[in-house]
Structure 1
Amino acid sequence: MEVFNMNKRFFIFVCLVLAVFVLSSCSAGNVTEQNNAAKTGQIKVVAPSGATAISISKAMKDTAEIDGTKVEYEIVPTTDLIVARLTAQEADFAVVPVNLAAQLYQKKVPYKLTSVVTWGNLFIASSEKIEGWEALKGKDIYLMGKGLVPDIVFRTLLQKNGLDPDKDVNLIYLSGATELAPNFLNGKAKISMLPEPVLSTVLSKKPDTNVFLDLQEEWKKAFGLSKAGYPQAGILVKEDLINNDPQLVKDYINVLAEGMDWINENPKEAGAMAEELELGLTADIVEKSMPGNNIRHEYVKDVRKELDQIFEIMYEFNPETVGGKLPDDGLYYEIN
């Protein structure tokens, strides 16, 4: 009887060990499945229309899969839609204005900034033959985005060049770039801010337009920088993807960076590609706008000085432009 009881106890012990082993295997399998979710599934890339969409166009054309993961692309017409996608965590990568990246970070939306990809595309044009900042004194100037980056950049440069934005000029704000062009072309606006690629569209219809201020070059002069422009838009990556598959993140960012080099080196082909992708721009406009689109990939680790500077300027203008306080190191994910 004692032998029977011992055998029974041994049998129960073996069953318990097997049960623990099976459960552990299942648990490990679930973790592995979660960690490899990106590799067996799909990632989504979102960008607004315009120069930012052009910046990822080469990847859109050539990269439908990365490291065994399918890549879906979505170009949206408004920043509000991008905010909605990111707040709902429906995108894995997104190209967004850098101040929006800061705002989302302050709201604990789980994304990290890895790179800056556009460096300003703003120009001041006139239907009259005027030159320099002093010529703006007493004039009506049409621009977009009151309280947003275009406004902050222009006001900062006015001040740097000895003009009071609230006293020396009359700033007239329109809702966006799509309103600036028709107002300039119909003669209502004599002096207007025109971003690329809208500027190239205007020049194709009114070739005698006087483009007399490149705000990127003016920013370079005002702040003593080595390169023209200021951080305008960058790449956000979902934290879950960074944690679960950092190699995929690194590989895909590299694809985007190489694509940006290619479109700068091949503007004609880039134009044809953008038209084929139906980005809302004709091939010739994209080709002509490429220098002014100021697309250049830089990892955040290499441009922290420039990012800190633009965030500080925005914060001084209005703290809410960067989410109420200056972003700290937690905003960034550095890729080596």
Structure 2
Amino acid sequence: MKKISSIFLIIILSLGLLTGCSSNKTNDTKVKEENKTVKVTVPDGLPAMSVAKLIKENPEISKDYEVKYSIEKTPETLSTSVMKEEPDIAIVPSNMASIAYNKTKNYQIAATTGFGSFYIISTEDLKSYNDLKGKTILNMGKGLTPDITAQSILKDRGINITSDVTFNYVNGVPELVPMVVSGKEKIAVVPEPALTALMEKKKDVKIFKSLNDEYKTLNNSEYGYPQATLIVKKSFLAENKEFVNSFLSNVEKSVIWANKNKKDLAAYCENIGVSTEKGIIENSLDRANIKYAFVKNTIEEYKKYYKKLFDFNPKSVGGTMPDEGIFMEK
């Protein structure tokens, strides 16, 4: 009888333990279901590098929020996702931020994670802008921001962009680099980290000018022109302001960390699927211009840059100059 009682006691205790486990599991599932999912989208390359720490470590930004990161491999997929208003937060080219605002009225600029990383390079010895006269300059994307920015700076430096120089265009870096390496083109506008890769493949490549440094000088600009812009969905911000502010603080920390920990950054980037090779990432950071600036410190920079883009081609900013509503208030 004593033995039977003992067996019953064990069964009851076991059932209690199982019930307890089941209850905890149910509670855990319930909490997980109640967590708000935040979709963050970034393009491959420098923008992904700037937040690699966040993507790899995925720390808890704020209680009851689950952040899901995605890296878009092409400008087309990034643009499509943003125009469909899929991400709550995204890093996009600065002009895309304006286009998204003009089209959806639902994205605002919160910060910048990278300023100009384009350089005029040459395999010839260029001493001054006058040495560009009569030359062909290779660039990417006719009428897009790299083209507009380069032409604007050349014009401000006294180069007639229609008669002094000839522009030759390719669709992107994968086409541009081989043309310089092969010697088909001697002068080009190249961004980091592609520039570092190019200079490793062709040792006689020399940097003539940093477009960002030139822009700063010509426009009395502290930062240069914004290249990578962090935008937040306005409807998301309205209900989740504390989370957004915490997220921005973490982005700033990630940018600072990236510049101080080159080797670790390269390893993180490889782990999260950034397409640039580890060695290239590590060696390109000094010229990559990954920097964080909250929007309140760069409003005038954006206005000035958007005006330049608009004057050159209104379509580059979405047809009209964005109004003050594009800038997020903290």
TM-score (norm 2): 0.87
d(CA) in 2 for partners of 1:247, 1:37: 20
d(CA) in 2 for partners of 1:321, 1:208: 34
1:61 and 2:56 are equivalent in the alignment = yes
d(CA) in 2 for partners of 1:94, 1:158: 31
Aligned to 1:139: 135
Map Cα deviations across residues 147-186 of structure 1 (whole Å, 9 max, x no partner): 1111111111111111011110000011112211111111
Answer whether contact 1:260 1:297 (CA < 8 A) is retained. yes
Answer whether contact 2:83 2:104 (CA < 8 A) is retained. no
| Correspondent of 1:190 among 186, 189, 192 | 186
d(CA) in 1 for partners of 2:130, 2:271: 43
1:268 and 2:263 are equivalent in the alignment = yes
1:88 Cα deviation from its structure 2 partner: 2.3
Q: How does 1:230-269 map to 2 (within 5 A)?
A: 230-269=225-264
1:188 Cα deviation from its structure 2 partner: 0.8
Q: Which segments of structure 1 move beyond 3 Å, counting only runs of 4 or more?
A: 36-39
Map Cα deviations across residues 119-143 of structure 1 (whole Å, 9 max, x no partner): 0110111112223211111001100
1:134–1:327 CA distance, 2 compared to 1 (3 A): same
Map Cα deviations across residues 177-212 of structure 1 (whole Å, 9 max, x no partner): 221111111111111111100001111212231111
1:215 and 2:211 are equivalent in the alignment = yes
Aligned to 1:27: none
AA at the equivalent of 1:159? K
Q: How does 1:63-142 map to 2 (within 5 A)?
A: 63-67=58-62, 68-142=64-138
Map Cα deviations across residues 3-52 of structure 1 (whole Å, 9 max, x no partner): xxxxxxxxxxxxxxxxxxxxxxxxxxxxxxxxx99971311111111111
Larger deviation, residues 188-197 vs 218-227:
218-227
Answer whether contact 1:124 1:192 (CA < 8 A) is retained. yes
TM-score (norm 1): 0.85
1:38–1:45 CA distance, 2 compared to 1 (3 A): farther
d(CA) in 1 for partners of 2:34, 2:161: 52
1:276 Cα deviation from its structure 2 partner: 2.3
Aligned to 1:178: 174
d(CA) in 2 for partners of 1:319, 1:38: 45
1:216 Cα deviation from its structure 2 partner: 1.0
Provide the aligned C-alpha RMSD in A: 1.8
1:305–1:38 CA distance, 2 compared to 1 (3 A): farther
1:277 and 2:272 are equivalent in the alignment = yes
d(CA) in 2 for partners of 1:225, 1:123: 17
Answer whether contact 2:266 2:281 (CA < 8 A) is retained. yes
- Match of 1:249, SS state, is helix
AA at the equivalent of 2:148? I
Aligned to 1:313: 308
Answer whether contact 2:56 2:271 (CA < 8 A) is retained. no
Q: How does 1:5-24 map to 2 (within 5 A)?
A: none
User: Identity, % of aligned pairs?
Assistant: 32
